[in-house]
């Protein structure tokens, strides 16, 4: 049985990060809404309570019954989590004189406390709180302070319960990983055996049990998530998995052919469907971005449905949904909205059960699993690419000729990034075909042709992004190559907008 740490989410922005850090300790973690603690799960070895946007005395504050948890498992409260434990046991929490935000250094550490093992006075932690614990209940003791905050960390004397006012999960807390390790490994007793290899072994076993001899159909996009999901399912059920890879005509240059070959090389049972004509004719004359998306989304479902119906007796739809997608849909504060998979709507239409073998993994864990499964690096480390493809990178209406121009320009940019060793330094890159014509001169000829914009961003999750500071010499080389080689383009610009307020894609 895989041991797990439960993280109860009280709505903090760093809850996901706590989950990540625990996984970095080779320990499986699961993030659950603050009031959804699993009653009888023998694999739980410890519980972490996250921070929150609320104060404990707010009428809207998230509250849950702690006693059954405290009696059964080691507990670590972080920020609001720590305040909540102290407050519900009779301690006092008050607004701090000024909101404390930023670096602080630990002083007066109780070195004999297991949570503080190997933590030295002076070590840096990250504070971000408006309230502070001003007095502890009787059976609690202070185990660390900072200059500003006397109760920076505490322990409940007769129980395995700790609280820290700072955020050990953020990078600026330099001793944060040691504190989390002390909790997860020493206090909770994690065996640290969670890894890509162990994930594959358990998941393949579970998939075999769950799916038996059932047939599964899965839509491949060429992206890392659906590809890894397919290889994992293939390992579990082999030919009972049929993959469908639809070419809507708006993929990158030669991508359909190349990726299809990769999939076949991986032993996948894959059907490649060239539906580009259908999509081009449905998109003719359409300029409105959301309308383009809807046409492509619906067209994709139609093609997929038609192909899937050719397979007899399919019971399941496989999908490459990953953990951040699930956490967002669980999100208790409900502030984030992101476009999800392009096959949304399919399970209902086809009356299929959903099978999402990666739903518990973060993106880099998906990549680690892919590598462990022996998938080629270029499939694993490729940039994200939007489901509607180049359709959302061609401003205005779409024609096969515009797609050709964009594919050529995009190919030069992406190949250039690879040649200059810059590809892995950016999160995502591509070219946008603008609906702007401008005057130029080529030889002795006046030209009146299209402008393109290069877009390259750095990011960790696509929710925010910054434009990549690519070298001028590189940009100069790409610009020259595009203008010289791509017929129809006489001007290249570089997009220097960050997200927010801009988005990564232009449409």
- Compute φ and ψ for 250, nearest 5 degrees: -120, 30
**b/e 191-218 (16+ beta carbons within 10 angstroms → b):** eeebbbeebbeebbeebeeebeeebbbb
Between residues 169 and 325, which has the closer beta carbon with respect to ligand XMP?
325
| Least distance to ligand XMP, CB of residue 403, Å | 17
Closest approach of Cβ 297 to ligand XMP, in Å?
A: 8
Integer-rounded Cα radius of gyration of the chain: 26
Catalytic residue among 167, 188, 341, 449: 167
Distance between CA 135 and CA 96 in Å, rounded? 13
How far is the CA of 157 from the CAs of 75, 141, 336, 384, in angstroms?
13, 7, 39, 49
CB count in 10 Å sphere of residue 239: 10
To the nearest whole angstrom, how small is the minimum distance from the Cβ of residue 482 to ligand XMP? Answer: 21
| Minimum distance, C-beta of residue 499 to ligand XMP, in the bound complex (Å) | 5
> Nearest 5°: CA angle at 254, between 249 and 259?
95
- Residue 110 CA: distances (Å) to CA of 120, 124, 185: 10, 16, 19
Are residues 157 and 141 in contact, defined by beta-carbon separation less than 8 angstroms?
Answer: yes
Is 79 tagged catalytic?
Answer: yes
Is 169 tagged catalytic?
Answer: yes
CB of 333 to ligand XMP, least distance (A): 20
Asked if 329 contacts 285 with a C-beta cutoff of 8 angstroms, the reply is no
Binding site for ligand XMP (CB under 6 A): 293, 339, 342, 384, 386-388, 392, 428, 462, 499, 503-505
Active site residue 340: no
Residue 318 φ/ψ, nearest 5 degrees:
-85, 140
Tokens read off for 456:
């390259």
Give the nearer residue to ligand XMP in terms of CB position, either 137 or 384.
384
Provide the minimum distance between the beta carbon of 390 and ligand XMP in the complex, in angstroms, as a whole number. Answer: 11
Residues 6+ apart with CB under 8 A from 337: 328
Comparison of 369 and 504: residue with beta carbon closer to ligand XMP: 504
Which residue of the set 89, 100, 129, 169 is catalytic? 169
CA distance 166 to 173: 8
The catalytic residues are 79, 167, 169
């Amino acid at each position: 049985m895989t041991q797990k740490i439960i993280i109860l989410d009280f709505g903090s922005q760093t809850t996901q990060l706590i989950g990540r850090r625990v996984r970095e300790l080779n320990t499986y973690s699961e993030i659950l809404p603050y009031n959804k603690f699993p009653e009888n799960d023998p694999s739980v070895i410890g519980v972490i309570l996250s921070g929150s946007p609320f104060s404990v005395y707010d009428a809207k504050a998230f509250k849950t019954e702690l006693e059954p948890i405290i009696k059964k498992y080691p507990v670590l409260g972080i920020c609001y989590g720590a305040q909540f434990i102290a407050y519900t046991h009779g301690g006092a929490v008050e607004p701090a004189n000024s909101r404390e935000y930023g670096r602080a250094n630990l002083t007066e550490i109780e070195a004999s406390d297991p949570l503080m093992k190997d933590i030295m006075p002076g070590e840096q932690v990250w504070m971000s709180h408006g309230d502070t614990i001003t007095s502890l209940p009787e059976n609690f003791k202070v185990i660390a302070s900072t200059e500003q905050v006397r109760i920076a960390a505490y322990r409940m004397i007769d129980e395995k319960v700790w609280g820290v006012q700072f955020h050990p999960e953020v990078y600026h807390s330099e001793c944060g990983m040691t504190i989390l390790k002390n909790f997860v490994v020493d206090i909770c007793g994690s065996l640290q055996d969670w890894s890509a290899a162990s994930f594959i072994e358990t998941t393949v076993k579970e998939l075999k049990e769950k799916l038996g001899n059932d047939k599964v159909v899965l839509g491949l996009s060429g992206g890392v998530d659906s590809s890894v999901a397919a290889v994992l399912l293939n390992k579990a059920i082999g030919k009972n998995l049929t993959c469908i890879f639809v070419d809507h005509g708006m993929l990158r240059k030669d991508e359909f052919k190349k990726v299809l070959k990769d999939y076949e090389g991986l032993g996948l049972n894959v059907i490649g469907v060239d539906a580009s004509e259908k999509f081009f004719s449905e998109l003719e004359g359409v300029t409105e971005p959301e309308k383009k998306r809807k046409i492509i989304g619906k067209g994709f479902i139609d093609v997929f449905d038609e192909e899937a119906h050719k397979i007899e007796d399919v019971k399941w739809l496989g999908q490459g949904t990953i953990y951040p997608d699930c956490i967002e849909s669980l999100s208790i504060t409900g502030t984030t909205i992101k476009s999800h998979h392009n096959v949304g709507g399919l399970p209902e239409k086809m009356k299929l059960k959903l099978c999402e073998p990666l739903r518990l993994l973060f993106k880099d864990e998906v990549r680690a699993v892919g590598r462990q499964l022996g998938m080629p690096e270029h499939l694993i480390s490729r940039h994200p690419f939007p489901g509607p493809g180049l359709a959302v990178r061609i401003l205005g209406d779409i024609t096969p000729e515009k797609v050709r121009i964009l594919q050529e320009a995009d190919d030069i940019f992406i190949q250039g990034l690879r040649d200059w060793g810059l590809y892995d330094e950016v999160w995502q890159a591509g070219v946008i075909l603008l609906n702007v014509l401008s005057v130029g001169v080529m030889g002795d000829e006046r030209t009146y042709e299209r402008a393109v914009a290069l877009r390259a961003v750095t990011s960790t999750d696509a929710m925010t992004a910054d434009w990549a500071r690519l070298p001028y010499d590189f940009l100069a080389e790409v610009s020259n190559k595009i203008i010289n080689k791509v017929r129809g383009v006489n001007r290249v610009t570089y997009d220097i907008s960050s997200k927010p307020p801009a988005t990564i894609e232009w449409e």
